Amino acid sequence: MKIYAVLLFAVLLVGCSTYQNQKLNGLEKSETIDLSGKWLFRIGDDEKYSEFKLDEFGWVEIKVPSQWEKQGYNFDGIAWYRKHIQIPGYFKTKKIYLYLGKIDDNDRVYFNGELIGLTNGWTQERIYFIPNDLIKYDSDNVIAVRVEDKGLSGGIYDGPVMIISRDELWKFKNETKRLASEKEFNSVFLTVKIMDSLLTTGRLTSYLAFLSPKYRENEKTYTLWKRDLGQISDFLTQNRYSIDYVDFKVYHSPENDSVLVADYVRLIKDATGNLKFSDEQIKYFKYENGSLLEIGNRSRFFRAKFYSDWLKEERTFFVYLPPSYDIDISKRYPTLYLLHGYGGSDESWKYDNINTVVDSLIKIGKIVEMIIIMPDGDTSFYANTYDRKKMYEQYITDDLINYVDATFRTIPHRETRGIDGVSMGGFGAMSLGFKYFDKFISIGSMMGALEVPFERVKERKDIHGGDSLYWKSIQPTTIAQGLAKEHFDSLNIFFYVGDKDWLKDANIKMHEILKSKGIPHTFKIYPGEHNRDFWFSHFAENLVFHSNSFYKSKYVRIKEKLKTQ
């Protein structure tokens, strides 16, 4: 208890002055730095372009934000941007971000030679936290952005482009925060200081007393956090590191007013007080049985990552969890794998707000509760490459499924697992569903690219190696044509297309193939074109289709709660 008393005394001494930092109004100086205008630009790819020190001879100027095609660079591929900036010293006490607007298609962003973020997909907003330890205040800093354009337009095309503090970012995005009272602030601040002190001194049992048994931060549960805690604590204690804070704010969660959110920069310092690392921290606290405990964000719609053995790299995927996930922690759920279209990414579903559609259908009893997994498939068509260097099929059907079943409370059976997708995702859903029929019970496709002429992808030698026969062999229609009727036993199949969609004939061809083999399926042609409005207006039908398929399973129908594997 002595450590609690000491820390409480410290908070009482600094609490009032620290609490003043809660105020958002009356900023004396600008907390944004405009980065629009001239940047340095170079076509081609070389990892050294990310470095702080670089001979920039041969680089040309380009306007940002703007598509590079509008400035005379008509190509698809990889190019780099660089920008030299100064960040004033008064930003030392601020949590700051690099806001890059939108980029077509994929990016990797470096600050003074260190990777600070990456995003795939041209519709996503880019906001990257800049660690304080990377910044050279009142001196030269370098932002380097690697942009990969998969087709059509490319570049940093939509602004604004700027350095911005967290408080200014809230204003820019019209995010209103109900700030905590002084008493609430001090309670959270004290709890964070106590927990960090326990962590840096190896007192893990006491640390866990401040963690809710129902703690969950995205995919990380109390059990997983407890498992990793020793390694983290050992690293801090062995190096004699201490923890400090910058720009500590506490506010009420917009989703749940009883939850207090601590938002700050954590500074990791060595024994001499030198800054070694810094990271962004957003922690969630709530009173449970009279004690203020860290509960995690308990998000039901978030991005996760894992290492794929087949692709030999870290991959990301979005996750939707049903409403009861944190209420009944013994319950397990069927799983739907949802594949994005060409040029999209796992984040595309976030911007389509599909979680609200699923929640509403569950609420009115139209569908059963389910987990939805949305992997990033690049522009791969979810197919293995000709040279077998990129095994996207096994990445989905082996690595990802195994990781999901081990990490989330799924019902790990074929009869409670479905797959679906939009456009290129429909290609993937049909081809993977047919080839790996032992993994899925239901297969759906929304305006699916079920047969794509070789001429349309002739330049995609990274997939087909220039071999038109290989490209034909991986088409969903080809796969379906080559399988015997028995292969489709118990599979549930549902797909549709618009009457003005350029892929209508391919979908009709799939329908005729299945019909000729006597394979039960549902196929529909609706009024519409090949666009987001079309598939989104029918998305609920896909969810109902998979739900009905899952409901036939004894595991869902009798609401059986499986024991942990």
Does residue 49 sit in the same domain as residue 74?
yes
Does residue 190 sit in the same domain as residue 155?
no
| Percentage above 90 pLDDT, the chain | 87
Q: Are strands 275-288 and 114-119 parallel, antiparallel or unpaired?
A: unpaired
Residue ending a domain, among 136, 168, 200, is 168
Give the mean pLDDT of 139-160: 95
- Total domain count for the chain? 3
Residue ending a domain, among 148, 168, 188, is 168
Does residue 123 sit in the same domain as residue 230?
no
Quick check: 336 and 362 in contact, CB under 8 A?
no
Quick check: 374 and 451 in contact, CB under 8 A?
no
Residue 470: pLDDT band by 50, 70, 90 thresholds?
A: very high
Does residue 352 sit in the same domain as residue 476?
yes
Question: Is residue 374 one of the residues assigned to a domain?
Answer: yes
For 220-251, the pLDDT digits (tens) are: 999 999 999 999 999 999 999 999 999 999 99
Q: The domain containing residue 122 runs over which residues? A: 32-168
Does residue 428 sit in the same domain as residue 551?
yes
CATH code at position 59: 2.60.120.260
Report whether pLDDT(561) > 80: no
Tokens representing residue 217 in the block:
């931060």
Question: Is residue 483 one of the residues assigned to a domain?
Answer: yes
Tokens representing residue 34 in the block:
């405009």
Residue ending a domain, among 250, 276, 294, is 294
In whole angstroms, give the CA distance from residue 136 to residue 130.
Answer: 11
Does residue 146 sit in the same domain as residue 201?
no
Does residue 142 sit in the same domain as residue 64?
yes
In whole angstroms, give the CA distance from residue 480 to residue 510.
Answer: 8
Residue 151: pLDDT band by 50, 70, 90 thresholds?
A: confident
In whole angstroms, give the CA distance from residue 516 to residue 449.
Answer: 20
Longest CA–CA separation in the chain, Å: 80
The pLDDT of residue 149 is 93
Question: Is residue 408 one of the residues assigned to a domain?
Answer: yes
Question: Is residue 106 one of the residues assigned to a domain?
Answer: yes
Q: Which of the two residues, 467 and 19, has the higher pLDDT score?
A: 467
Question: Is residue 314 one of the residues assigned to a domain?
Answer: no
Question: Is residue 541 one of the residues assigned to a domain?
Answer: yes
Does residue 432 sit in the same domain as residue 530?
yes
Quick check: 211 and 293 in contact, CB under 8 A?
yes
Does residue 88 sit in the same domain as residue 206?
no
CATH code at position 427: 3.40.50.1820
Does residue 458 sit in the same domain as residue 348?
yes
Question: Is residue 434 one of the residues assigned to a domain?
Answer: yes
Does residue 237 sit in the same domain as residue 340?
no
Report whether pLDDT(563) > 90: no
Helix (H) or strand (E) holding 479: helix 476-481
Does residue 164 sit in the same domain as residue 275?
no
- pTM metric for this prediction: 0.84
Question: Is residue 321 one of the residues assigned to a domain?
Answer: no
